[in-house]
């Protein structure tokens, strides 16, 4: 069983590789309500009820469980062997290669049926990526690029899984609610404009709705406000530009259109606990 004391568990990521499970209670511990969970059955079977829908998955099947999904484990084989990945929305946001697409993966996995039978070649590819991610999370903290290695391994696995699901279900018409469509539009506009536009009013105007309606809709779909997404996207942009030592703090303030140095520093410190200068110094240690 994965230790909940591991660094990456506390940061929102849990990965198990060829875990052997004998009891339903052990499997239940891996399925955390506030995290997205992905299970690949290596051997055995699982019968579950998800949102009042019963299903069974067996060897070479994969099951994706969105967060806040009630899962009742009906039966499991004894033993059961799985690879498992779970992660929070926050971990996805902080470690996504394509920002600020925090919501995209969560929308993507709710588009399609949660279970899928993989072909042998697909299983081998997915297992290799599970193994890679497991290896990188377990590597020594002395590895100077451990965080980057985990980031790329995590993204490789998610992109592979997204590609597989899209391959099998691309012809199924996707039906989004009006609220979900609006939130996806918001994410797209945010990706393009987050560096220069920091206020909810801009995004509401772009969507031809009121700021209150945008905030209420985003909150209903994602449990976070539009302002939170805007500020988190901006923090990530700041972290990216701070990695470029050729850019002065003054030029970054101008590029990201902050009113002054004091506001810029206090905004960044509120989220990170560090001033921009302190954060940059840590990057160069």
Homologous superfamily of domain range 182-283? Homeodomain-like (1.10.10.60)
Q: What is the pLDDT of residue 2?
A: 46
Q: Answer left, alpha or beta for residue 208, where phi above 0 means left and psi between -120 and 50 means alpha.
A: left
DSSP codes joined into one string, 199-265: SHHHHHHHTTS-HHHHHHHHHHHHSS-HHHHHHHHHHHHHHHHHT-TTS-HHHHHHHTT-S-HHHHH
Find out whether 56 and 82 touch, Cβ atoms under 8 Å: no
> Model pTM?
0.62
User: Where do the domains of the chain lie?
Assistant: 7-169, 182-283
Q: What is the pLDDT of residue 207?
A: 96
Work out the pLDDT band at 1, boundaries 50, 70, 90: very low
Q: Does 6 score more than 70 pLDDT? A: no
Q: Does 103 score more than 60 pLDDT? A: no
Same topology, domains 7-169 and 182-283? Answer is no
Q: What is the pLDDT of residue 130?
A: 96
Q: What is the pLDDT of residue 45?
A: 96
Counting other chains too, the contacts that 43-47 makes at CB distance below 8 Å and 24 or more residues apart are: 43/77, 43/79, 43/80, 43/81, 44/76, 44/77, 44/78, 44/79, 44/80, 44/81, 45/75, 45/76, 45/77, 45/80, 46/73, 46/75, 46/76, 46/77, 46/80, 47/73, 47/74, 47/75, 47/76
Is the pLDDT higher at 92 or at 281?
Answer: 281
Q: What is the pLDDT of residue 93?
A: 67
Provide the β-strand partners of residue 65. Answer: 37
Find out whether 14 and 86 touch, Cβ atoms under 8 Å: yes
**Architecture of the domain defined by 7-169:** Sandwich (2.60)
Residue pLDDT, tens place only, 11-46: 789 999 999 999 998 998 888 877 889 999 999 999
Work out the pLDDT band at 108, boundaries 50, 70, 90: low
Chain mean pLDDT for the chain:
85
Average pLDDT of the segment spanning 239-253: 90
Is the pLDDT higher at 71 or at 6?
Answer: 71
Q: What is the pLDDT of residue 184?
A: 79
Angle formed at CA 97 by CA 96 and CA 100, multiple of 5 degrees: 60
Q: What is the pLDDT of residue 254?
A: 95
Residue pLDDT, tens place only, 142-182: 788 888 899 899 989 988 988 888 787 765 555 557 887 89
The continuous run of DSSP H or E covering 72 comes out as: strand 71-76
């Amino acid at each position: 069983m994965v230790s909940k004391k591991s660094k990456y568990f506390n940061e929102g990521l849990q990965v198990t590789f060829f875990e052997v499970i004998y009891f339903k209670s052990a499997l239940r511990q891996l399925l955390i309500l506030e995290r997205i969970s992905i299970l690949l059955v290596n051997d055995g079977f699982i019968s579950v009820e998800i949102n009042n829908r019963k299903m069974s998955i067996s060897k070479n099947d994969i099951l994706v469980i969105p967060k806040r999904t009630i899962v009742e484990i009906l039966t499991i084989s004894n033993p059961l062997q799985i690879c498992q990945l779970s992660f929070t929305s926050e971990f996805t946001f902080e470690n996504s290669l394509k920002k600020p697409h925090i919501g995209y993966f969560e929308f993507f996995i709710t588009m399609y049926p949660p279970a899928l039978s993989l072909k042998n070649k697909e299983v081998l590819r997915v297992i290799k990526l599970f193994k890679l991610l497991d290896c990188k999370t377990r590597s020594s903290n002395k590895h100077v690029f451990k965080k980057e290695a985990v980031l790329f391994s995590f993204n490789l696995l998610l992109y592979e899984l997204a590609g597989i699901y899209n391959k099998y279900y691309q012809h199924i018409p996707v039906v989004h609610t009006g609220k979900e469509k609006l939130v996806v539009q918001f994410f797209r506009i945010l990706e393009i404009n987050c560096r220069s536009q920091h206020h909810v009013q801009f995004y509401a105007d772009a969507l031809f709705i009121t700021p209150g309606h945008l905030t209420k809709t985003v909150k209903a779909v994602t449990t976070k406000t539009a302002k939170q997404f805007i500020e988190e996207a901006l923090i990530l942009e700041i972290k990216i530009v701070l990695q470029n030592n050729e850019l002065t703090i003054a030029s970054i303030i101008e590029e990201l259109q902050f009113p002054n140095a004091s506001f810029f520093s206090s905004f960044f410190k509120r989220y990170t606990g560090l001033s921009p200068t302190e954060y940059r110094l840590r990057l160069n240690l």
